[in-house]
Each structure stands twice: as structure tokens, then as C-alpha cells.
Amino acid sequence: MKKIVDFILFSILLLCFSFIIVLGWQVDTLKVVDSEGLVFYDTVLPAFVSFDTSYIHSVEQTEVQDTYVVACGKMWSWEERTKSLKAGMPQQAPRCGRFFMTKDWLVYQGGRLPWNKFYYRIGNSILGRNKASFPYLKEKKLYEIFPNKRIVITVEKKANFLSQKYPK
């Protein structure tokens, strides 16, 4: 009888400790906040998930696409795609990266540039036409939601129980 009671107590303690560990487990979170501090998006992400931004270059009037990967509590500049080399666009591979051309794009990959936070200036329907695709959220026309504003995109590690679970 004592062995059964000990086993039950051990099982209950193990479950309690497991629950506490899961709640305190550090997870990557991605958050998008507008210039007034209103949270547009806040969610927990699995490791190595990506999100994309795009805009129309103000001088060249060609599309530029960027892909970022969230890993280890940071967002990494993973890839940039452009249609032109003019007007301040990159003209060579980033350090620790590579450059190649496809039929439609000039592609810059790598570079080992991590951030916890970056500011993203949003244009309007004439200049910029910024868009973004975040995990669990289809592409959004940011220029319609935040015209002529600046948003802040942050990645941080938080305890699981302190994190939002779904985009707003």
C-alpha cells in the first residue's frame, strides 16, 4: 500500500513540476506595435519561422521583398529580393552571404545581421505600398492600416505563460 501511495505522490509531483517548467519555458515572441503603442500583432513562434515584408522603392518604383527568420530570440535578415541595382540598392553579396540572380529577382542571402527590434517606416498608397506577411496571419497591406506611420517589430524571449498565443 505504501508503494502505491508513494507512486501516486511521485506522479503528482512530477506533473506539477512539468507544468511549472512548461509555463516558465523561454519562447520566441514576435510583436508589432504602431507609433502610438497599439499592439497590432503579438504571438509565440516556433523556432526558425519566417516573416516577410515588401515595399515599392521610392526612386526605382520596383518591388523589394525581405524575409526575416526568428531564431534564438532575434530576427535575422535572411534574404532580400530586388528588381534593380540602381538608386542605392545593394550591388554585391553581403559579408558572410551570397548574391545570385533568378529570372525575376536579384537575390541577397545571409549576412548574419540579427536584431531584437527594428523600425519600419510605412508609406501610403502612392509611396511605399508596404505589405507584410506574419506567421498565422495572411498578407496585410500595412499602408492601409498604418499610412505614413512608423511601426516597431520586436522579437524577444519570454516565459511561455507571459506570451500572447495568437495574433490580434
Write out pLDDT tens, residues 50-63. 999 999 987 778 89
- Per-residue pLDDT, averaged over 77-101, amounts to 80
End-to-end distance of the chain based on CA atoms, in angstroms? 52
| d(C-alpha 102, C-alpha 116), whole Å | 31
Q: Is the pLDDT of residue 44 over 50?
A: yes
**Global confidence as pTM:** 0.81
Q: Is the pLDDT of residue 2 over 70?
A: yes
Mean pLDDT score across all residues of the chain: 85
Q: Is the pLDDT of residue 147 over 90?
A: yes
Contact predicate 44/29, CB 8 Å: yes
pLDDT cut 90: percent of the chain above it: 39
Cell (9 digits) for 158: 519570454
Place of cell 526568428: 70
Q: Is the pLDDT of residue 141 over 90?
A: yes
**3-state percent breakdown (helix, strand, coil) of the chain, nearest 5:** 20, 50, 35
- Residue 27's pLDDT band, with cuts at 50, 70 and 90, is confident
User: Which position has the higher pLDDT, 41 or 96?
Assistant: 41
Q: What's the residue count for the chain? A: 168
| d(C-alpha 20, C-alpha 43), whole Å | 20
DSSP secondary structure of 105-132: -EEEEE---EESEEEEE--BTTTEEEEE
- Per-residue pLDDT, averaged over 109-123, amounts to 89
13, 75, 151, 154, 160 from 24: Cα distances, Å = 17, 22, 29, 20, 6
User: Which position has the higher pLDDT, 1 or 43?
Assistant: 43
Contact predicate 82/90, CB 8 Å: yes
- Residue 166's pLDDT band, with cuts at 50, 70 and 90, is very low
Residue in 158, 119, 131, 94 with CA at minimum distance from that of residue 33: 119
